Structure formats: structure tokens, C-alpha cells
Structure 1
Amino acid sequence: MKVDKRNPWHWLWLGLMTFNALLAVLLRRFIASNNQVVLYGHKLNGNLGAIYRESLKYDELSLTYLTMDYPYYRQLKRQGISVVWAGSPQALKLIVRAKALISDHGLHSLVLLLDYSSLRFIDVWHGIPFKGFDKDDFKVQHRYDEIWVASEFMADLYEKKFGFKRQKLKATGYARTDVLVNPGKISRDELMREYDIPVTDRKVILYAPTWKQDDAERSLYPFGMVETEFLRELSQVAEEHSCIFLIRMHMNASQGSKQSENIYAVPADKYPNTERLLLLTDILIYDWSSIVFDFLLLDRPAIYLDVPPPFRKGFSLDGSYRYGEAVKDLAEFKLVIAESVETLEAGLPSIDEQRETIKTLVYQHYADGSSSDRACQEVLRIV
């Protein structure tokens, strides 16, 4: 859960979790741990969600998601998820007895257990970044016991650019990408209903920019356009080329995109499962968003906005890791969309040598649909 500093409920929930964390530090000295594993992140999605779902196949594993967000806790409870609210006595019991904790963001007040308990900490992170990180950006994760990454290539990046010790890094693949490699029997109509989109055979184009990052003046819309102008142009393109647009802003950005007959907002807070959204996507439009590295595995056309990067510290992976058609202005944007839709309608394959090169570099042999299972095997080793 992201803490809204203006929301008094969030402060209360954080305070209760902090109280539990402090008590757990004390009690763990006297109570033996069991084989339970805690999952902690903003939402039970991405790598955490994939590992949790895979763990249900193992009788030997007991994974429980911990959340500060009380309404979200109630929602997951109704779905039959093994979940505990962080402000409850059950949360205290869980973190006192757990053997390990797996996270994909920060820890909030659970950071107290890093230095003052035997709880093992594992990081699985939440995206392959363009953004330039350095050692200072991972001060908490440097204190973890293990860091699980997408490939040996990413392990090299973590060691050389982010300052991690190599012995802490383990290539498991990105668990959340398994569904992109092996989607199973997921129908297009089912996915459209899941995202509250009227069922249609029109091509689906996803617009997924990153947020302002380190540039406070950065716009979420390209070519100097404001939201109403940009959405009006998208609506016109949708009519002309019989397609629909989905708008997915970064979770840190405003979610105010309006909807029309041909444009649908699919914000992350309402629709947290990004991978299933990508399965529905025929064409991706991006700028510097890490979502494009997941989309790599679908071998579908992408269009990138040739706009300045909003990163104060430069790059982790630079512009040479972007693929697809580059567009610099509105005219190019509309032309490339038209050509991409026509190519798909004609049933022609999306051939992109740059995409294949990047996919091989970033994922190596780990994008095989078995990353969740490898992660669960690692959990078994730990517990």
C-alpha cells in the first residue's frame, strides 16, 4: 500500500503495523519460527501474485500476504486469499513466527525486523528499469539476504550499477511473466469483461506512459498536448481505424483519464493485474515505462514516443533498449498507428529484430514459463 500522507486512516494503519513490528522484534527472541512466508508489497500482483498462486500447488508451502490497506484486506479475504491485515493480532502472530519475507517494493515499518530479527528477507522487485538507479536507491534492499532477478544479465546490472554483492543475487526469472509465455485457456472476451471493456473484435491499443519521475514539469501526454486534446485525437484515430484505446497511467500518476466510446481507463488501483491486460493488448504505446519489458515476451508491435527521459540519474538501461516504431510528433503518431493496425488486420507477423535482441539479452533462457516454480523451489530451500 502506498501511504497517503493526507489520509489519517493511513497513519493509523501504519502506526498499528509499527506497534506489531516492534513487538515482533522482542517476541522473536523467545519464540521459534515456523515455515510460514510473508509476502509484502503495495498489492498482491506482479511477482508476488505469481509466486503466491504457484505456491498453492505445494503442500509444503504456506505463503500469506500482509497488507496495511484494510479495504484491500477485506477484498482479498472475500476472494479466499491467505491474507492478514497488518494492524491485527494475527499479523503479530504471523511475523513473530515466519521464517522469511518476500517483498517487491519497500517495507514501511517492517524495516525494524531487518536488523533486529532472524527473519530472512528476499526482494523480487517490480520492474526492469530504464530509470537510472544507483546504490543509494536500494539502501534497504542491500540489507536483504537475497535478491531474485530476471536473468544473469540483470544480476550483472544489479552488481555493477546498483552495488549489490554478487552472492546475494539469484537469477530465477520474473515470475509475473509466466502467464505471458504460457497464457493457458484465457479468452479475449473474458479479458475484456475483466477490464470492464465492451466485447469487440477491434484491435486494442494500450497507452502506458511512465509518470513524471524526476521531472516535476513533465506531462503525461505527448506533443505538448493537454489531456482533452490528446484523447480527442485518440478517439478520432479509433473511429478511422476501427480500434479502441486503453489508458493506463503509472500508479504514482493521476488516474483522471476520461472515458469515451473508444477510450477506456484501466487504472492500476482498480485493475492491478498488468500481465492479463498485456495479453489483451495488440499494440503498446510507451515512452520510458518498464511495462515494455514485459510486453517483449508477446512478440507484438510497440510504438514509442521519442520524448526526453525524465531521469535525474540517467539510465539503468538506456534508449538502445527501446524497440518498435519511434514517433516524434502527432502526424507520425497517427501514421504509425494506422500502419500497425493495417498490418495486424492483414494477419501479418510482427517482425522486429531489435525486439528479439533485447528479449534475448534481458531474459536469456529464464522467460520459459517456469519462473514462478523456480521461485517456489527457492522458498522451499529457505524454509
Structure 2
Amino acid sequence: MKFVLFGAGLLGKSYYSLLKDKYDIAYFADNHPEKHGTTFLDLTIISPKEISEKGISVIITSSYHLEIAQQLYEMGIKEFYIPSKYGTSDLTRIDLSEYGLIQEIPNKICVIGHHNAGAVSKALIESNTHDDIKVVLVKDSKRNNEYYYHYLSSSLIITQYSEQCGNKKSIELWHGFTIKALYFMSQEKNERSLAMSKHDIFNKKKAVCSMSHLYSVFMGYCLHLDFNKFIITGYPRNDMIFKSDGKEMLKKLIGPIKQCKILFYVPTYRDSLYTKNGESAAFINDMLGYDEEVFNDFLIKNDILFLYKQHAVQLNRKMFKGSKNIIEITDDMLHTSDMDLYEILNGVDGLISDYSSIIIDFLLTDKPIILTPLDLDQYSKTRGLMMEPYDAWMPGEIALDYNQFQQAVIDSLYGEDRFKKDRERLKRITHKYADGNSSGRVLALARNLLELDGKDTKVLED
């Protein structure tokens, strides 16, 4: 069987190196006319219309996979392949012929969910009180027949990671308040190189959901978007902070909790890391004076359970040894328990972070926050911050070495709450709504964009 890789770009190049020794790859295909007839990695780039003429099978190797899937279906190609997982040569076969003729259902909304660490999907699905709209969830981690069918048959798509949705109506939620600089505002070359393409994607959205006026200003600058593109709805994931019993959910996730206090450490993602042997330290276990045994004894003495979660794309570095007082929360644990990270968030007594957007979300709990921006100078120079100067914005103890950190923990959990007013002030600036009803506002926006008023609004079944 001969294959064509649809997507002659950087992603296509990466996939070609993974697939070429296992599959008979004859061509690349691409939607850019200027590429047609040229060669890429010694293979001819053909136009999409030539695929059927040549009778070859398609492997989608592009971040525009949703648009391409729709394009192929409209061309009459109902069977194609996608890479099962990046880094392997395995393919997943997609066959949409089992669904017959797929047409858009006028009042069907497809939510594209991701991992269970602060995803919005669960909150949206559970909050649909509208009888005249049908909301379905697909997981990006499980791209199968059903995934593409629900995308093709929906009239509006709700995305969280700026997925390209072609000509379909779509709403972008994004995934956090931008403490750090993004795209046009970033100092990083890789981030800035994506700025124009991200602008184009966001600009095609019917609306970008916002948390506040300040959120809209920050994201507008980062993406060079018109201010009117933003609609302040609040973040659906934050509804879980108001509605979930976090302590009970934690017990379901990790078992009985015997400690008096619970701390949760959630550092942000970094493109590059320096450890104790390099130029800079980034995490608590890099702190000057840190010792694992001393830290564990400190937790036991003060009756503290220390939970931590690494960023989904930065799991290659082990932070702490597990013990009865130090437990790692993983995406696999959340997935297995069908639980979202934000369902446990109000069950902890304090948060530790650096530049992560979870800091802004955690303000809704009105609980202490400890800041550990160990690489602040380097991070400001290489990435950049929107909230600068950092210490003027952040409402909590800042700890830069282990002794400071240990004292900050005691002060935050057992001392006077010195930063309560600072947290309240920042919450008012960053959250227009603090009521647990953001999902309802997002779905109301989606319904309005579907223009259902005055139409027969009976929900059509798949």
C-alpha cells in the first residue's frame, strides 16, 4: 500500500523520519499551491485533488488535522490514517463510512477536551441546561472514528488549545490567565515565530472567552487581536472550585488523608531547564539549602501532606521521592479516576507555584499562595512576563531559598494571613465573575452563535 503524507511542513518532516522505514511513502500533499510540483525530502508534493486520481492512502501529518479530515470527507475520501502517538511509527485507521452521510446538526456543539489537568470539558458537559442544544465531548488524546465524526457533524466547536476549525463556527477558551508573556509579547524566538499563525487562528474564532478586562488586554496584546473578539464569561474549569468537594475528591484519588494541612505544588512549564549543575535553578528541590530528608522531616513534624504535579510536557525530571507525606498527582491518576485537577483544588490548604496561571485561578479559593520564582531574572529575560514587576502583582510569600520556603510554609498554614487583602484585590482585577457559573455563560454564548432563536430547536439525535 502506497501512502501520501498530507502536510508538507515541519510536522510532516518529523513524521516522515518516523514513518519512512515502515511504510511505502510515495508523495507529500499540501494545500499551498506554490508547493505543488516541488519536492520535499526528495518526494514530490502533489495537490489534494491528485490523491484520488493516484489511488493512494492518506496519512495526515499536519496540526490542521481537523480541517484536513473535513476536506478529505468532502472529497469523498472517508478513510485515512493518523499517527497514533508522536514518537512512534504506529498509525490509527480512521473510517467514517460507517456513519453514512455526515451532515452538520444545527444545534450540536462539539467540545474538544484534552488531559484532565484543568481541562474545561467536564465542567461544560455537566453544566448544559439548554434543551435545544446538544453538547458532546471528544478527547484529543483519543482520535478515533467517533472523534472525527462528532467534529464533522457539529455546527460549533469549542476549543481550548487553539485548534484550527476551518469554516466551522468556533469558540476559543484557551487554558489560563497569562502571567507569562506569549507570542508577540514573548522574548523567546520559538514563541514569537508562532505569533502570526496563532493570530490567524484566534482571529478566525467567533469569540475568545475571557476572565476579565485585564485578561482581554493581555491576550489582545499577545495575539494582536481586536478587543471586541473577547467575551468575558469566566473559565468553565473554575466552576469546579465552587461546586466540587475537593477534600472528598482527593481521598478518592489518593486514599485516606491523615495530615492536618495539605500543600499543592504546581510549577509552570519551561522550554529549557538548568539544574544545580547549570546556570539556574527552577524548582523547589533546586533551592539553596534543600535536602530531601530534611524536607520530609519538616512535613512530618508540621503534619503537612505535600502534593505536587509536574507539567504534562515536562515529566522527564523526577522531583521528589515518594513518601507518606509527599505524593505526586499525575495525569494518569486523574484519567483513571475520571477526575479533573480542578475538582481537588479547593481541597488543599495552600498553593505553591511560580508563573503558572493556576495562581490566578486559586485566588477564588481565598487560601494562601507561596511563590517560588527561583529563575525570575532568567525567565524575565528569555520568556518575559506580562505581570511585571513580579513582586508587585503576586499576593503571597516569595521564597527563593529553602530556609525562606520553610518559613513561608509555616506562616501561610499556621500564621496570620498577611496577604488576604492582596489576594482579594488581584482577584477583583483578574476575575469579573466569582460565582461558579462560567460554563453556563459559555454555553449561552455558543447557543447565541448558533442563532437558534426563532428556529425549530428540537435537538436532533445522531
TM-score, length-scaled by structure 1: 0.79
1:234 aligns with 2:295: yes
Change (3 A) 1:202 1:145: same
CA contact (8 A) 2:368 2:412 kept: yes
Q: Select 2:284's aligned residue among 222, 242, 251.
A: 222
> Which residue matches 2:44?
none
Structure 1 position 246, deviation (Å): 0.4
> Which residue matches 1:204?
262
1:130 aligns with 2:188: no
Structure 1 position 307, deviation (Å): 1.7
Change (3 A) 1:101 1:34: same
Q: Distance in 1 between matches of 2:412 and 2:219?
A: 35
1:358 aligns with 2:358: no
1:183 aligns with 2:240: no
Structure 1 position 121, deviation (Å): 1.5
Q: Select 2:155's aligned residue among 81, 84, 99.
A: 99
Q: Which residue type is aligned with residue 262 of structure 1? A: N
Secondary structure of the structure 1 residue equivalent to 2:238? helix
Q: Which residue type is aligned with residue 211 of structure 1? A: Y
Q: Select 1:265's aligned residue among 328, 331, 334.
A: 328
Change (3 A) 1:193 1:159: same
CA contact (8 A) 1:221 1:230 kept: no
> Which residue matches 2:33?
none
> Which residue matches 2:144?
87
> Which residue matches 2:124?
51
Secondary structure of the structure 1 residue equivalent to 2:127? helix
> Which residue matches 1:75?
none
Secondary structure of the structure 2 residue equivalent to 1:374? helix
1:247 aligns with 2:305: no
Q: Which moved more, 1:331-340 or 1:237-246?
A: 331-340
Structure 1 position 48, deviation (Å): 2.7
TM-score, length-scaled by structure 2: 0.66
Structure having the larger proportion of residues in helix? 1
Q: Following superposition of structure 1 onto structure 2, how do residues 66-77 of structure 1 map, counting pairs within 5 Å? A: 66-70=138-142
- Matched residue count: 346
> Which residue matches 1:164?
225
Q: Distance in 2 between matches of 1:97 and 1:223?
A: 49
Change (3 A) 1:30 1:196: closer
Change (3 A) 1:183 1:94: closer
Q: Which residue type is aligned with residue 293 of structure 2? A: R
Unmatched tracts of structure 2, length 5 or more: 1-10, 24-57, 77-100, 185-193, 451-462
Change (3 A) 1:100 1:24: farther
> Which residue matches 1:286?
353
CA contact (8 A) 1:258 1:265 kept: no
Structure 1 position 360, deviation (Å): 0.8
Q: Distance in 1 between matches of 2:246 and 2:283?
A: 31
Q: Distance in 2 between matches of 1:202 and 1:245?
A: 11
Structure 1 position 357, deviation (Å): 1.4
Structure having the larger proportion of residues in strand? 2
> Which residue matches 1:324?
396
Q: Distance in 2 between matches of 1:30 and 1:52?
A: 23
> Which residue matches 1:83?
none
Q: Which residue type is aligned with residue 304 of structure 2? A: C
Unmatched tracts of structure 1, length 5 or more: 71-85
CA contact (8 A) 1:210 1:220 kept: no
> Which residue matches 1:375?
442
CA contact (8 A) 2:113 2:119 kept: no
> Which residue matches 2:46?
none
Q: Select 1:61's aligned residue among 128, 133, 136.
A: 133
Change (3 A) 1:176 1:224: closer
Q: Distance in 1 between matches of 2:330 and 2:282?
A: 14
Q: Which has the larger radius of gyration?
A: 2
CA contact (8 A) 2:309 2:328 kept: yes
1:22 aligns with 2:87: no
Q: Which residue type is aligned with residue 168 of structure 1? A: K
Structure 1 position 203, deviation (Å): 0.2
Q: Distance in 2 between matches of 1:241 and 1:91?
A: 48
> Does 1 or 2 have the higher relative contact order (CA < 8 Å, sep 6+)?
1
Q: Which residue type is aligned with residue 334 of structure 1? A: Q
Secondary structure of the structure 2 residue equivalent to 1:303? strand
Change (3 A) 1:222 1:43: closer
